[in-house]
A and B are shown apart, each in its own frame.
Chain A
Amino acid sequence: MDEFNDYKDYLKSHSSFPGIKRRDFFRLMGGGIYIFFRAGSAMEIMAAEADQNRLPNDLNAFLQIHEDGTVTCFTGKIEMGQGVVTGLAQMLADELDVAFEKVQMVMGDTDLCPWDMGTFGSLSTRAFGPYLRAAAAEARMVLLILASEVLGVPLEDLDVKEGVVFNKNDKKKKVTYAQLTEGKKIERFLSEKPEVKDYSEFRIMGQPKFRVDSVEKVTGKAKYSGDIRLPGMVYARILRPPSHASKLVSVDTSEAEKVEGIQIVKDDDLVAALHEDPEMADKARRLFKAEFAGDEKPVSNENVFAYLSENAPEGNTNINEGDLETGKKSSEDIFENEFYDGYVAHLPMEPHTAMAFLEDGKMTVWAGTQTPFSAKSNIARVLGFEEENVRVKPPYLGGGFGGKSAHQQAVEAARLAKITGKPVMVDWNRQEEFFFDEFRPAAIVKIDSGVDDKGKIVFWDYHVYYAGDRGAETMYNVPHQKRTVYGRGWRAPGIHPFPTGAWRGPGNSTNTFAREVQIDIMAAKAGIDPVEFRLKNLTDQRAIDVLTEVAKMADWKPAKSPSKRGYGVAIGSDAGTYVAHIAKVDVDTKTGEVKVLKVWCAQEMGFCVNPQGATIQMEGCINMGLGYALKEVVEFEGGQVKTSNFDTYEIPRFSWIPEIETKILDRNAPPQGGGEPAIVCMGAVINNAIYDLTGARLFEMAMTPQRILEALKNV
């Protein structure tokens, strides 16, 4: 939902900008009452609708056929490692009937590509994909009609293979797409749009394709924002506050000014040292003498959950079915638990970086951003430029995970480039990356639930604070249930001591952790095997399918938990996709260290466009998920972010990595998201496995060795 709110904010701040219609905003907002959009799926539909409103009708906006037969695909999406560079090329090649190898991708360039909301929410394939396919299908039909005229062959006698249109009855009669278009725009359009292909007709979609960018990336030729080189460029080092609560009172740059070749910029709150040598710019920044003032919020790692509870916003009940009291009365056992999740950082290996250059009144910004079009708008607004005078060109992104939806560095670079007239590189160091990261919010989930004497869940009273409700669906069939959501999405401005934002599978990892641990607690008390207990309470066939499959993959032997074997199970749903995980763990009861030995994962994502890419995303989700589950803790005191590098903030390393076995279930239904779903179960599946092995139950993530030792004391 937050992505939609971002879009809404974007529209609000740009209501006077031509092309964005305020009435669209209100229509989308259902009269402005946004609290009624409740589930992740609603956000997704909204996002897709927003895309639809802004995407051009002209197929030329999506593709161009060149004289040499290559085809360029234009998309406002960006490539950050997730592999849409490959998957979108497959979609275009298949619908257009050209060889996959002939497709070149142009991504995210705001001057060349169709408008896009941003690359997040696992929306590229499922929300943008249909428009790309429709454009390709229309182009194919137009080309067939042109070929029919050129060849003098009736349309029904024509077929096309790899960009060559031919007479089915006389294959010598043929013409290529390149000959038909001569590299020019396609000027003809169809009033009645042709159908896209049926699943049975796919030749390229559904085939496992390796990354198309790997040779560039293994040779060091792939360009990221920091690799852009322009004559006369300078590196900027910007004065940073010690805390998010700090406001600049005064700054003395006199010592910094003595550094040879330095240029100092002071523009309101933006104070920067610029030098052609980044180390000299660093040196000058260290010589800034600044005074800051500000009142800290009384919150730190010590009291974060108490503080968040005390400051909880009003709740909105978005599901209320049956009657909780009736459910309680029919319960054999009632379970009341609270679950806690701490702040987690995104930490793409490439910090936020941007290069900006003003030339002939036009600002061009190469920025590592998931949101090039909103970056363009924000830069234009801050600089006082017309939007057409700003171009954002994202090169490859060195990871994003939601963290590069924020694009402060691009605005900083543009401001400095405007002031100095030079090409300016703003490349944050790791400390700045930690400080300005919009962390995954600390969050609380409270669940009261009950099971009857037959092992059926009879009531479910769910309260989620600060995480939003993506992934908060009960999933299980419960007659009496209520869900209350406190706070808007994963942002709670004014409450957290620093900005929070969307972190891969936002909200869902927190919600799935709470739900699937609560389910496990109930199964254990009922004395029922945790897979069997879940199946007993599920009616959603897609959930049943992935759970049944993963149990088969892991050769699951039913047992009441804790079985002392160290197996855990969890299921989840995100971005229209269903996942089920089983993990096997080992725990060193002396040190509290957990080793995840193996993870099995079954995923059902509708039709899978690129099984290779999707598998790699599942593996990446599983490995990345080990971090938030076991180790990642942001240390802070008020708005001071104490964690500043990888020495104290541990992300997954080679020695942590489990054996991974994945399976994607076939289903001929519209493609769903793949970049995030397999991460959402990682907290719960590890928690449940730790319990199965040791009998220790944890209620807080990250499940650090210290917290595990504490929990072991209670066994």
Chain B
Amino acid sequence: MAETIEFRLNGKNIAVELDASKTLLWVLRTHFNLTGTKYGCGEGYCGACTVLIDGSAVRSCITSLGEVAGKSVVTIEGLADGDKLHPVQQAFVDNDALQCGYCTPGMIMNAVGLINDNPNPTHEDIIWGMENNLCRCGAHNRIIEAIETAAAGMRNKK
């Protein structure tokens, strides 16, 4: 049943008339045309659909729209500051840390959530923090390097 749900999406206040039980992933992709958030498994196993909710990495394919009411959602489209890439995005480019690119938005959002939670992640912290984000192309080593580079850069800026 449709109801008014208010939340912040990529920095803007939003109010939508939709069924609260709808899945966040599909609302983002179809209602808002934010197609950077990907479907990979539909059951929260692969991480391709990862977004930030109040700064934490969440699987949007197993999150209902109702759960984000009053919260702030950031998708891959909302990460860069205009043309200036977020440090994690830039580090993925600089480390050539992607191939097909389909898991990349989810990887980046998960990494941002990881750094938000722990600005000083060790190599092991990164591995275990990224463990449930799957990449079939095998870009893992460079993704870890990218996250290490980005985390270090973000610390130095503070």
A contact set with B: CB distance below 8 Å: 80-83, 210-211, 213-224, 226-227, 229, 276-279, 347-351, 396-401, 427, 429-430, 612, 616, 619-624, 645-647, 651-655, 657, 659-660
Contacts and interface: CB of A to CB of B under 8 A. Distances in A.
Contact of B136 (A347, A654, A659, A660): A347
A349 B48 contact: yes
30 contacts: A214-B101, A215-B93, A218-B76, A218-B98, A220-B34, A220-B37, A224-B38, A226-B39, A276-B30, A279-B23, A349-B38, A349-B40, A349-B48, A349-B100, A351-B40, A398-B103, A430-B42, A616-B96, A619-B139, A622-B138, A624-B137, A624-B138, A645-B41, A645-B43, A645-B45, A647-B45, A652-B138, A654-B133, A655-B131, A657-B144
Contact of B77 (A213, A219, A398): A219
A401 B136 contact: yes
B141 interface: yes
A223 B35 contact: yes
Nearest to B107: A218
B52 interface: no
Contacts of A226: 29, 35, 38-39
A347 B48 CA distance: 13
A659 B80 CA distance: 31
Given A348-B136, A619-B138, A653-B134, 8 more contacts: A213-B101, A216-B101, A218-B105, A218-B108, A278-B26, A645-B42, A654-B140, A654-B144
A427 B139 CA distance: 25
A215 B85 contact: yes
Chain B contact residues: helix, strand, loop or mixed? loop
Contact of A229 (B35, B140, B141): B35
Given A81-B101, A348-B102, A220 B144 contact: no
Contacts of B45: 645-647
Interface in B20-39: 22-23, 26, 29-30, 33-39
Contacts of A659: 141
Nearest to A211: B96
Contact of A220 (B43, B75, B99, B136): B75
B142 interface: yes
Contact of A218 (B30, B89, B133, B142): B89
A455 B155 CA distance: 59
Contacts of A80: 100
Given A430-B41, A645-B41, A218 B92 contact: yes
A138 B106 CA distance: 44
B102 A350 contact: yes
Contacts of A224: 38, 102
B72 interface: no
B26 A350 contact: no
Contacts of A227: 35
A221 B75 CA distance: 12
B139 A616 contact: yes
Contacts of A427: 39
Contacts of B142: 616, 619
Contacts of B140: 623, 652, 654, 657
Chain A contact residues: helix, strand, loop or mixed? loop
Nearest to A213: B101
B57 interface: no
A651 B41 contact: no
Given A430-B43, A619-B142, A218 B104 contact: yes
Contact of B43 (A211, A215, A647): A647
A82 B98 CA distance: 10
B62 interface: no
Given A220-B37, A226-B39, A398-B102, A279 B22 contact: yes
B130 interface: yes
Interface string B49-76: 0000000000000000000000000011
B26 A220 contact: no
A342 B133 CA distance: 25
A221 B102 contact: no
B136 A399 contact: yes
Contacts of B37: 220
B89 A219 contact: yes
B151 to A, nearest CB: 15
Given A219-B76, A219-B77, A397 B100 contact: yes
B127 interface: yes
A422 to B, nearest CB: 15
The interface centre, meaning the residue of B43, B128, B131, B133 with most chain A CB atoms within 10 A of its CB, is B43
Interface pairs A-B: 10 shortest CB-CB: A220-B36, A398-B102, A81-B100, A623-B138, A217-B101, A81-B99, A620-B138, A220-B76, A227-B35, A646-B45
B115 interface: no
B99 A616 contact: yes
B9 interface: no
A348 B101 CA distance: 11
Contacts of A646: 41, 43, 45-46, 134
A227 to B, nearest CB: 4
A210 B96 contact: yes
B104 A217 contact: yes
Contacts of B130: 654
Nearest to B96: A210
Contact of B35 (A214, A220, A347, A623): A220
Contacts of A397: 100
Contact of B141 (A215, A223, A349, A657): A657
A223 B100 CA distance: 11
B43 to A, nearest CB: 6
A659 B128 CA distance: 16
A351 to B, nearest CB: 8
Nearest to A82: B99
A614 to B, nearest CB: 12
Contacts of A655: 127-128, 131
